[in-house]
């Protein structure tokens, strides 16, 4: 707990809907689970895109921790060298159905506020500008505009569809096929209240790298991560297997059509023109 700020704003699991909005509540849940963890249980990072104020962390939790392997993207914000906001995103498709049902927060209590307003994005302006340009090209469904922003050796990975495209030419061809259907295109919009997306990551050398969040518009008719996990006997479409598969009723006073935010990883060789 020494890595977390005493005034921690939130530690959220965006897939299960777990929210710990104080230092004490997070300490209590760690105290509940950690004593039962023993070898060969591990939680470790496989990649970190960061600076001194925010990070996107690729993590793996082995099955001994929560009953199934979790491959996580964690968006982390720091204040005065301590973690003040942490949000985990992971694809629940391979997670055991019975555990998903057991651990998932009920719809009526599922969080919609990831505390973006309380912890402002601290990414470098050039990263925010590049991400905003990329999001606008996605929203326009324009693969050519996206291509203008990509490095020649870009690696485009879709973790939910288990797809990886290497190089700008192949990535652009792929986007030309999928932009009409993927959640980060069409009329997708930024997840924050401002025009710019929320960004975490680094602008240092040798590579500039980051993660960004967005939200689906209220008019979206496709689940794309917003539908509940289907029972084992039900066939799931690719769109329903999007990361998190969340169905959440809004808290009192919020817009019932307002979708939850999502995160996308921008590859390390993303071109900052």
Q: Which residue has the higher pLDDT, 56 or 61?
A: 61
pLDDT, tens digit (0-9, with 9 covering 90-100), for 92-150: 888 999 999 999 999 888 887 888 888 888 877 787 888 888 888 888 889 999 999 99
Question: Which ranges constitute the DSSP H helices of 59-121?
Answer: 63-66, 97-103
Residue 189, domain member (yes or no): yes
Q: What is the pLDDT of residue 13?
A: 93
pLDDT, tens digit (0-9, with 9 covering 90-100), for 213-230: 665 555 555 433 334 444
Which range of residues forms the domain containing residue 152?
A: 125-266
- Beta strands 43-50 and 18-20 are unpaired
Q: Is the per-residue pLDDT at 171 higher than 90? A: yes
Q: Tell me, yes or no, whether 142 and 245 share the same domain.
A: yes
Q: Tell me, yes or no, whether 90 and 157 share the same domain.
A: no
Q: Which two tokens stand for residue 239?
A: 């769109």
Q: Which of 77, 109, 141 is the last residue of a domain?
A: 109
Q: What is the pLDDT of residue 45?
A: 96
Residue 184, domain member (yes or no): yes
User: Is the CB of residue 61 less than 8 Å from the CB of residue 72?
Assistant: yes
Burial 211-236 (b: 16+ CB within 10 A, else e): bbbbbbeeebebbbbbbbbeeeeeee
- Beta strands 10-13 and 82-90 are parallel
3-class SS at 139? helix
- Beta strands 163-166 and 82-90 are unpaired
Q: Tell me, yes or no, whether 38 and 94 share the same domain.
A: yes
Q: Tell me, yes or no, whether 95 and 139 share the same domain.
A: no
Q: What is the pLDDT of residue 5?
A: 96
CA-CA distance, 197 to 215, in Å (whole number)? 10
> pLDDT-based confidence at 253, cuts 50/70/90?
very low
Closest CA to 263 of 111, 57, 104: 57
> pLDDT-based confidence at 207, cuts 50/70/90?
low
Q: Tell me, yes or no, whether 130 and 53 share the same domain.
A: no
Q: Which two tokens stand for residue 144?
A: 């050519």
Is the pTM of the predicted complex or chain greater than 0.75? no
Residue 11: φ, ψ to 5°:
-125, 110
User: Is the CB of residue 270 less than 8 Å from the CB of residue 150?
Assistant: yes
238: domain CATH number is: 3.10.450
Q: Tell me, yes or no, whether 129 and 261 share the same domain.
A: yes
Q: Which of 109, 138, 166 is the last residue of a domain?
A: 109
25: domain CATH number is: 3.10.450.50
Q: Tell me, yes or no, whether 151 and 240 share the same domain.
A: yes
Closest CA to 149 of 163, 165, 174, 132: 132
Residue 38: φ, ψ to 5°:
-145, 160
| The total number of structural domains that make up the chain | 2
Q: What is the pLDDT of residue 213?
A: 66
Residue 4, domain member (yes or no): no
pLDDT, tens digit (0-9, with 9 covering 90-100), for 35-54: 999 999 999 999 888 888 88
Q: What is the pLDDT of residue 232?
A: 36
Q: Tell me, yes or no, whether 148 and 84 share the same domain.
A: no
User: Is the CB of residue 162 less than 8 Å from the CB of residue 133?
Assistant: no
CA-CA distance, 212 to 197, in Å (whole number)? 6
The residues that bridge with 202 in the sheet, in sequence order, are 209
Residue 3, domain member (yes or no): no
Residue 273, domain member (yes or no): no
User: Is the CB of residue 260 less than 8 Å from the CB of residue 226?
Assistant: yes
Q: Tell me, yes or no, whether 198 and 240 share the same domain.
A: yes
Return mean pLDDT, the chain: 75
Q: Tell me, yes or no, whether 129 and 262 share the same domain.
A: yes
Q: Which residue has the tokens 């020649």?
A: 152
> pLDDT-based confidence at 77, cuts 50/70/90?
very high
Residue 82, domain member (yes or no): yes
User: Is the CB of residue 52 less than 8 Å from the CB of residue 78?
Assistant: yes
């Amino acid at each position: 707990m020494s890595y977390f700020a005493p005034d921690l704003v939130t530690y959220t699991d965006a897939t299960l809907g777990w929210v710990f909005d104080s230092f004490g509540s997070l300490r209590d849940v760690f105290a509940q689970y950690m004593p039962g963890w023993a070898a060969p249980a591990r939680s470790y990072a496989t990649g970190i895109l960061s600076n001194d104020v925010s990070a996107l962390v690729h993590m793996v939790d082995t099955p001994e921790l929560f009953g199934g392997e979790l491959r996580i993207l964690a968006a982390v914000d720091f204040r005065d060298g301590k973690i003040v906001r942490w949000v985990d995103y992971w694809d629940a498709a391979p997670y055991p159905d019975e555990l998903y049902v057991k651990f998932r927060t009920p719809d009526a209590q599922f969080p919609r506020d990831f505390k973006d307003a309380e912890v402002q994005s601290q990414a470098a302006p050039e990263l925010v500008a590049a991400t905003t340009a990329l999001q606008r090209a996605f929203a326009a469904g324009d693969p050519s505009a996206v291509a203008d922003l990509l490095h020649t050796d870009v690696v485009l990975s879709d973790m939910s569809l288990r797809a990886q495209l290497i190089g700008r030419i192949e990535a652009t061809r792929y986007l030309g096929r999928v932009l009409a259907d993927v959640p980060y295109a069409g009329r997708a919009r930024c997840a924050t209240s401002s025009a710019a997306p929320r960004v975490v990551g680094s602008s240092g050398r040798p590579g500039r790298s980051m993660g960004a969040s967005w939200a689906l518009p209220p008019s979206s008719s496709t689940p794309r991560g917003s539908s509940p996990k289907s029972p084992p006997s039900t066939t799931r479409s690719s769109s329903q297997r999007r990361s998190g598969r969340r169905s959440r009723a809004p808290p009192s006073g919020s817009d019932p059509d307002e979708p939850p935010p999502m995160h996308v990883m921008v590859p390390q060789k993303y071109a900052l023109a």
